[in-house]
Chain A
Amino acid sequence: MKTYDVIVIGAGINGLVTASILGKKGKRVLILESRDKIGGIASSMEFTPGFTCNVVHDTIKWIDPRLMKILDLDTNGLQLVEPEILRVNLGDNSEHITFYRDIDKTINSIAKYSKKDSKRWEDFISYIKKLSQFLEKLYELPPPVLPNLGIKEVLGMRSLLSPIRKHGSQGVVDLLRVAPMMMPELADEWFENELLRSCISTAGIHHLSFGPYAAGTGYNLLHQHVHSNGLFHNIKFVKGGIEQFATVLKEVAERFNVEIQTSAKVISINTDQNVCNGVTLESGKKITAKQIVSALDPNNTFFNLVGPSNLTPDFRTQINNIRYRGSTARVHFALNKLPVVKGVNNEHLKTVFSISPSIEYLERASDAAKYGQIPDNPYIEFVIPSLLESNFAPKDKHVLSATIQYAPYHLRDTEWSDSIKDQLKNNIVDTLEKVIPNIRSIIKHTYILSPLDLENEFGITEGNLNHGEMTLDQFMFMRPTISSSQYRTPINNLFICGPGTHPGGGLHGTNGYNAAMEILK
């Protein structure tokens, strides 16, 4: 029988990252993935014959540069496409602001609506850049062990000083002001035009269950702009589709002798006297290893796999208190022809569109979620991936993939069903119709994933794509809990590396990188 140093549970981005780094350092690693393919939420699928979609994520906001380096992802075949247009925010009556890689073009686009705002744009993005640089440093470190912070930990955090040296202590003050802010307050300090204000706000509500008027949306906005180099709404596409990111990581991992088993569902992490010694698969097979790393969310890792009776009461309470509340749905349309976006040149469609005429529009969409309902006018971000990947759809046909907020996991007095999904679909199409007038007539097939579907498909608790809401009370040393925020857990030899750990969600791989470094300590 083969023996392993480490078993990694889950072959999503972070699981693959951790496994690859450990493999590179000479560990004998086995990855166990319950689905029949790797990638987790970074995967694609043929949702109807001839039409393929990126199931959850169409774009990447940022990738940890340390990861690119240590795994040499550039030369190992990861091709990132940096589009000229980063985002088009659509308002009413064909009004829209376009965010370009070229800042001057963005300024011109804003100037059409407000000269004053256009003049402030450069200052604003350097302000956001400055603040997110603090997070960049913070994200590279495991959070401090609290409440007993020792001199060793403090010394280990000295790299945090570099942005302070660069920007002065005012930078820290600004960070502490902006992170707990709500979007309208931040917007008030900078801009007057509502279309611009609401487009900025969309960055603060990404995959949250609440709207722009919630405190702490400032932090979420900054999180989206880590390593964005002063580009607001920065995005990257992965050549070949999002799954290619996972595929490249898999190839790297295999080069380091990491063994990957798919369709290998772990049903328990086995512990004895608080020491973890292996896993049991659904098939009944037991596999032992010196260390176990879970890339699953805390609820799955600790409640479903370790089991609540193996947790201490305090830790169990902490795990139980983590908020998930997935509120994002995904919908994929197979289209008979290229959609026409009102007011937008057909050459400018290889980007992300958002439908956000005002901050109030976003807030009202979130109101529905607050009361366990689906919104009449949801907030929609969409991409036409078939324009980037020609093999995603037959010739002259297209795929439109949309991310929908807010579709709450917990519905009031009812549960997700086909009829609720139909209702949501109708609301989506009604909303899209305002910006793509012919949408209804060109839809060939619709595939919708509610938060419940996301939970069932990917095993993510309550369909939360970030493995726990990205809020300040679930940030840094509180992610996932105060006693497990260093990628270690109260159970000896059990580690965690998923987005439920510091610094949270997104396909950036920082969690997996930091976890690997902790395991190697």
Chain B
Amino acid sequence: MPYKNNFTAQTQLKLSPFFERTSKLNESQEWRRWAGYLAATSYELTHENEYFAIRTKAGLLDITPLKKYIVEGPESEKLLNQLVTRNIAICKVGQVMYTPWCDEDGKVIDDGTIQRLSKDKFRITSAEPNLEWIQSNAIGMDVNVKDDSFSTAALALQGPNSRAILNSISTNNLDKLRFFWMMETTFGNIPVSISRTGYTGDLGYEIWINPNDALKVWDLLMDKGKSFGITPTGLHALDIARIEAGLILLDVDYISSRHALIESRKSSPYELGLGWAVKMNKNDFIGKSSLQKELNHASNWSFVGVEIEWLEFEKHYREVGLAPGLPQTAWRTSTPLYYKNEQIGYATSGTWSPLLKRYIALAHLKSTYAQKGSKLMFELKVEHFRKLTKATVVKTPFYNPERKRSCPK
């Protein structure tokens, strides 16, 4: 049942079925556009509390704006296997796979998750609209591709208490639900699908429901989650968490090959650190032959984590008489990285990690400079003047708690 919006607001943007609640909870009234929706930037005046909810309690995020597609029919596995770089044939019912998908030149169009709902039924999520792409590749196949974006509402419950909250509501216990698997259960009499997925790199779940049940599910979670510290969380907090988790964001860390004006703006999965998700031993998929060539010649670019060294960073500010100018929120401005005097890459997003107490960034580097431990220079603007400050290539995820993957004993 498509969701019928009953609220009005002075906006041309779409309103999620949770808007009735989120709009009242949003003290800051800070909103931003997300895939054509009005989405909360932060509920409180600053996002810090929401960030710590993700890492120490449980953050509740409205992720309805995600694009969702249902692919159903006898050839749905065949279609998806041609479309994406991972091997969907080994994805079991109830399993979820993260994967990029490419154009014929092996350049990434978008990335998202694929849920196997049954043998012949899948749900794909993506950042951008992909219906036309999926449908055009389905021509002549016995599959039905439909837009599920308005027929399914979704919440993310992320943080160490998320399992306990869901267990207090769900008919079925979630203790055995493994990382990147999903289950069907009910909240009272409301059917819900829960996947153990998320965009925070923490223990967390995503809940997929009929939009007509949205408010009831929200209220249940907020009510039962209260004693666990459940906190409505906005996009500012999420952005910090996803950088700590080393997860890429379309249009920030890479440009979809569909929109890239010039070839050099496009990236292959190898150039985005997603080589692990490219399965060259499966049958033909879109981009395979180009990716094979790249594999034979090694990629020009690598995607890495970078840590900006504290002592020198602090010194730059001290020299002008200022306290260290840490970013208040995660930034998304392309920032040059140098080796000696040569620019060898650029960071695409970065943040101060409030938990790790480290200044971290995600960056594209020419592959020769991308090995762990490489010493680079990061461009910094201190009181209107450009400085170079030391940075090091480090392993991602920056933050990777054991609870992300583990199940209770």
Contacts and interface: CB of A to CB of B under 8 A. Distances in A.
A3 interface: no
Given A313-B103, A314-B104, A307 B140 contact: yes
B286 A312 contact: yes
Contacts of B286: 312-313
Given A273-B284, A314-B104, A309 B136 contact: no
Contacts of A313: 103-104, 133, 136-137, 286
A408 to B, nearest CB: 25
B105 to A, nearest CB: 9
Contacts of A314: 103-104
A316 B136 contact: yes
B103 A309 contact: no
B76 interface: no
A313 B286 CA distance: 8
Contacts of B75: 309
Interface in A303-334: 303, 307-309, 312-314, 316-317, 320
B283 interface: yes
A27 B26 CA distance: 77
A274 B140 CA distance: 17
B82 interface: yes
B261 interface: no
B141 interface: yes
Nearest to A307: B140
Interface string B275-316: 000000001101000000000000000000000000000000
Interface in B261-276: none
A31 to B, nearest CB: 26
Contacts of B133: 313
B136 A303 contact: no
| Residue of A308, A312, A316, A320 ringed by the most chain B CB atoms within 10 A | A312
A309 B139 contact: yes
Interface in B92-139: 103-104, 133, 136-139
B375 interface: no
B78 interface: yes
Contacts of A317: 136
A363 to B, nearest CB: 36
A360 B14 CA distance: 52
Most chain B beta-carbon contacts within 10 A, residue among A274, A307, A308, A320: A308
Interface in A245-285: 273-274
Contacts, number: 33
Given A273-B284, A274-B284, A312 B104 contact: yes
Nearest to A314: B104
A316 B138 CA distance: 11
Nearest to B283: A273
A336 B140 CA distance: 50
B284 A309 contact: no
Nearest to B83: A313
A309 B141 contact: yes
Q: Kindly name the residue among A273, A274, A307, A309 whose own CB sees the greatest number of chain B CB atoms within 10 A.
A: A309
Interface residues of A, number: 12
A316 B141 CA distance: 14
Interface in A342-377: none
Interface residues of B, number: 16
B300 to A, nearest CB: 20
B257 to A, nearest CB: 12
A312 B104 CA distance: 7
Contacts of B139: 303, 308-309, 316, 320
A313 B257 CA distance: 14
A214 B141 CA distance: 38
A250 to B, nearest CB: 34
B293 to A, nearest CB: 15
Contacts of B137: 309, 313, 316
Nearest to B103: A313
A308 B104 contact: no
Contacts of B141: 308-309
B104 A303 contact: no
A316 to B, nearest CB: 7
Interface in A8-35: none
A308 B286 CA distance: 13
B140 to A, nearest CB: 4
Interface string B319-362: 00000000000000000000000000000000000000000000
Contacts of B78: 309
A67 B284 CA distance: 40
Contacts of A309: 75, 78-79, 82, 137-141
A307 B138 CA distance: 11
Interface string B64-100: 0000000000010011001000000000000000000
Contacts of B136: 313, 316-317
Contacts of B140: 303, 307-309
A314 B104 CA distance: 7
Nearest to A274: B284
B106 to A, nearest CB: 12
B81 to A, nearest CB: 11
A273 B138 CA distance: 18
Contacts of B284: 273-274
A319 to B, nearest CB: 10
A273 B104 CA distance: 15
A50 B82 CA distance: 56
A316 B103 CA distance: 13
Interface centre among A274, A303, A313, A316 (most CB of B within 10 A): A313
Interface string B124-162: 000000000100111111000000000000000000000
A317 B136 CA distance: 8
A98 to B, nearest CB: 52
Contacts of A316: 136-137, 139
Nearest to A315: B104
Contacts of B82: 309
A500 B370 CA distance: 50
Contacts of B138: 309
B204 to A, nearest CB: 34
Contacts of B283: 273
A22 B407 CA distance: 68
A274 B283 CA distance: 11
Nearest to B143: A309
Nearest to B133: A313
A82 B139 CA distance: 49
Nearest to A490: B104
A321 to B, nearest CB: 12
B18 to A, nearest CB: 36
A312 B79 CA distance: 12
Contacts of A303: 139-140
Contacts of B103: 313-314
A3 B100 CA distance: 44
A135 to B, nearest CB: 33
A308 B135 CA distance: 12
Contacts of A273: 283-284
A342 B244 CA distance: 90
A273 B78 CA distance: 14
Interface centre among B104, B139, B283, B284 (most CB of A within 10 A): B139
A316 B75 CA distance: 18
Interface in B192-236: none
Contacts of B79: 309
5 contacts: A309-B137, A309-B140, A313-B286, A314-B104, A316-B139
Given A312-B104, A313-B103, A313-B136, 7 more contacts: A303-B140, A309-B137, A309-B140, A314-B103, A316-B136, A316-B139, A317-B136
Give 3 closest A-B pairs by Cβ, nearest first.
A308-B140, A308-B139, A309-B141
